Structure 1
């Protein structure tokens, strides 16, 4: 097959998109010479054309998709050019559209993931690491040229209509999937569209007023994530959409959900993460099909403290929290404030189908006890108050959640976790901890499936780093803001065999980061931020030259470290991957200046 492969590569003339498209075709054909020869003859006219017909090659790749995957590929046209699409957002939208046929023995999510992987393997969509703290390809996107090619197909085959500032004419047929992009808050253009047939409605940019009406009675997906100008009043009629399965409000300015939400008996996904919502309506417990409930604030947002959160939660609130901290607030020690969570519903145990829940605020032991009834939970995020009985009940509940794969716990002190004799679940692949821990629980070494660890204010010691380094499948480690309490952070020989991303930020005591030979052998990204005490010499970040797979090295906001920066440049010269070195002097953010000024006033 070498001959056929050389022919195809030569004819692609080095155009990456053409190579990727044809590679996607070849990857799903039997690896025998006759199959490759047949494909070569089939696409020979396109390959031998003076102007390589990439459009035709992509169309052939699309035609080769399994029938049931084509819809999901065309569905990607809903998202704008260059848009980074969160994988979970995409999968749950697919599931809500009720186009997935569920084979025996598989869940809808497993089927959706299978379709997603097929599109990735065929290079029809590409993975993206938009979020720096993710090395598991949690974001994806469609190449601009591919998007341009499939858009006409989407308009015809799935009745997609995109209304933006350049589009003034009304659609010629019934619309099933409507996208409003960069609109001003008015209804003028919407009156020309028949909303009664809509199955999905997605808004990018400003949200039109009175968007939710009884006319949308067949709507299954309402995605308003990150829209501008959405108010509580805009959602007052949400209960009139009886077929709604997906409601995405993440990143908006809403602060309260209407009580009529309880009418959405088919709702599967409710996403109000990174909003101002602090409590959920009592009637939410009647949503018997609810499987994904995302609330609270992103863990990485808490890592950054108030400096980026000020834009979503007003600065006065931030300053008030700061003042409380100065006067001995209960949360001041750890900084794991309950402002990052939402109070759990009173009868949360009724939501028996929940698979994803978090971050919820658990204030009483009875609330913690009810969690053990949610035996389908795979992802759980909780914030606890400082009550011993509540903590004991949480540990007891965690022991009952045998399907748990991701766990996030916030508390001023996490030492109660050491009282557990067994890990919460041996299936855990992701663990996020915020609060003082001192040393890792003994059961930590038994989490052999763990791949992502993010720690905040845990105050660990070097011996704990050694324990984490011995876990066989860790690919991501985030050591953030006081998560490590010693001056020397060392990564020993033979440790962290699978680690690809190491993210270090806000370690106030650390003076030297030492990477021994044969440690971190597959590390791709190393980020060091806000570590002001690092030595301004080679000892500050020692032996980076051993990281031969490195493609990105960042040293930022660590003060004036010109000598260390020069040493790092010398160490990575000659690396085959030609890693990017990102450096800049420490820059005080606007919010930090405001807080410092306020501190001087009081």
Structure 2
């Protein structure tokens, strides 16, 4: 009945998947409703009206709280790749999600997001290395239906972009500014914004920011991610929005946060990633409701300095995510942050050796017994990482762990991380004995070895070369173990010869290799469930004869053993 149209098929399939107990009579009624002229041959191409009827029916079938969350999708531009975390954090700030059945608000928001995927309202377009959806998009026709519903219910007012919406007849509740058209900007100036609770902007602040917006103090969500034209007076005016819960300045050209940020007593999420902000102002400690502090730049490892007051005062106990920070020598006591779920340290500066970080080590050990489940540490000197072996108790609830620095020996407690799902280590830790220990981590889904450009010094390359000496000139992946591993990534200037034993990584589906020099691969045919091998060489095409030889040899080996794995070479 869907006429072979993919959108109609997947939308209806999502509806069917979420109603497994519907009776035969129930399904018959659905068919009669969607296609009243049941005697007709429905193998013909569907009309737009019929497709719209299917989308509308499937939308109306969703639980009320999921409908509300789906209406929120109309905030984003047509074809926009929507970040899962950005979306779920905004749901929480808007009050669409609350704790239930013993689940935290973040976990409930996650179930709502997954329900929308199952319903085919949103489609995944990018996954994280742990298998979770990182970004999604909404099909144009589905989004058109959602935008129409949002406008009809005065849920969201969209200005600009691809949609021609009638100006709201009543007060604006949520505003999405999607274009810099001067005529539409003037229309916005005429709107009643006295009750606006949420503002999202795309493009330039200069051409579309309503002059009278900041005088209303009831805005709770302000999302300016990626906007240009950010001026000093904008951040001063933002600090007057005293009810603000969610503030995103990510990828804007803002350079500082003023001390007046202390006025935002209700702020829960502060996202200043990929900006020129290098430090938090001292009064930040007064924002005791802050749940998420997101700073720095994950790619460049540019970090956010913590103010001295924050280190001294035992405040901000609601913090769950503290990401992208810099920690310099001296006392950094985080024991009081017992709600902390994620700690990401992008820069460590030792002063007086690892001993100067005894409070930090003690804090990690202490928080590991509470709710800490993601730990990221980038230690250029490697002194701090070496001292992690001294932990008396392992952070046993860790789900994700990333350790960067020159490291050969792994902390002894790593073998006890029974729920660890994602692990990223420096390439200097790529050794046969380490792989044997890691193979015992039964929950491990993703394993990555990498190092960045700044680590490509002679000492690092020498350490990588020495690792081969522990296994007769190559690094060997042992047979057995790695029972849950689906993804493995290797990224570095030099990757040593890698050999896969029989029955190695029995569940591995994807192998990714990024390098300038790759010494070789053997035994890939032993990977029973391998689907894809990705080669990405940073060497010049005319210099990369080694990749061609390795790919050719691998193809022959896979063919001989009857494997149908894809070999993909990225230029």
Question: Could you say which TM-score interval applies, normalised by the shorter chain?
Answer: 0.7 to 0.9
Confirm or deny that 1:17 pairs with 2:7: yes
TM-superposition CA deviations, 1:558-583 (whole Å, max 9, x none): 53322223334445669887636133
Residue 395 of structure 1 aligns to a residue in which SS?
A: helix
Residues 91-490 of structure 1 mapped to structure 2, 5 A cutoff: 91-103=88-100, 105-129=102-126, 133=129, 135-164=131-160, 171-173=167-169, 174-183=171-180, 188=186, 190-208=188-206, 213-298=213-298, 301-302=299-300, 339-344=302-307, 346-347=309-310, 349-367=314-332, 369=333, 371-382=334-345, 383-386=347-350, 387-401=353-367, 402-411=370-379, 412-413=381-382, 414-423=385-394, 425-456=395-426, 458-481=428-451, 485=464, 486-487=467-468, 488-490=474-476
Q: 1:549 to 1:14 in 2, by over 3 A?
A: farther
User: 1:185 & 1:428 partners in 2: Cα distance?
Assistant: 50
TM-superposition CA deviations, 1:458-486 (whole Å, max 9, x none): 54422112222221111112211269823
- The match for 2:74 among 72, 77, 83 is 77
User: 1:489 & 1:572 partners in 2: Cα distance?
Assistant: 20
Confirm or deny that 1:564 pairs with 2:550: yes
Structure 1, gaps ≥5 residues long: 1-10, 303-336, 585-602
User: CA contact under 8 A between 1:95 and 1:108: conserved in structure 2?
Assistant: yes
Structure 2, gaps ≥5 residues long: 469-473
TM-score, with structure 1 as normaliser: 0.80
Quote how far apart the aligned CAs of 1:448 are.
0.9
User: CA contact under 8 A between 2:76 and 2:82: conserved in structure 1?
Assistant: yes
User: 2:230 & 2:484 partners in 1: Cα distance?
Assistant: 43
Quote how far apart the aligned CAs of 1:26 are.
1.8
Residues 20-59 of structure 1 mapped to structure 2, 5 A cutoff: 20-31=10-21, 33-34=23-24, 35-45=26-36, 49=42, 50-52=44-46, 53-59=50-56
| Counterpart for residue 553 of structure 1 | 534
User: 2:556 & 2:30 partners in 1: Cα distance?
Assistant: 48
Residue 372 of structure 1 aligns to a residue in which SS?
A: coil
User: 1:255 & 1:575 partners in 2: Cα distance?
Assistant: 57
Quote how far apart the aligned CAs of 1:531 are.
3.9
User: 1:576 & 1:514 partners in 2: Cα distance?
Assistant: 17
User: 2:11 & 2:315 partners in 1: Cα distance?
Assistant: 47
User: CA contact under 8 A between 1:162 and 1:180: conserved in structure 2?
Assistant: yes
Quote how far apart the aligned CAs of 1:344 are.
4.7
User: CA contact under 8 A between 2:504 and 2:526: conserved in structure 1?
Assistant: no
User: CA contact under 8 A between 1:360 and 1:381: conserved in structure 2?
Assistant: yes
Q: 1:229 to 1:579 in 2, by over 3 A?
A: farther
Quote how far apart the aligned CAs of 1:206 are.
2.2
User: 1:511 & 1:364 partners in 2: Cα distance?
Assistant: 35
User: CA contact under 8 A between 2:77 and 2:161: conserved in structure 1?
Assistant: no
Q: 1:170 to 1:492 in 2, by over 3 A?
A: same
Q: 1:515 to 1:42 in 2, by over 3 A?
A: farther
Residue 309 of structure 2 aligns to a residue in which SS?
A: coil
TM-superposition CA deviations, 1:375-407 (whole Å, max 9, x none): 110111123322323322112111221210100
Quote how far apart the aligned CAs of 1:447 are.
0.4
Q: 1:285 to 1:168 in 2, by over 3 A?
A: same
User: 1:54 & 1:571 partners in 2: Cα distance?
Assistant: 48
Q: 1:410 to 1:167 in 2, by over 3 A?
A: same
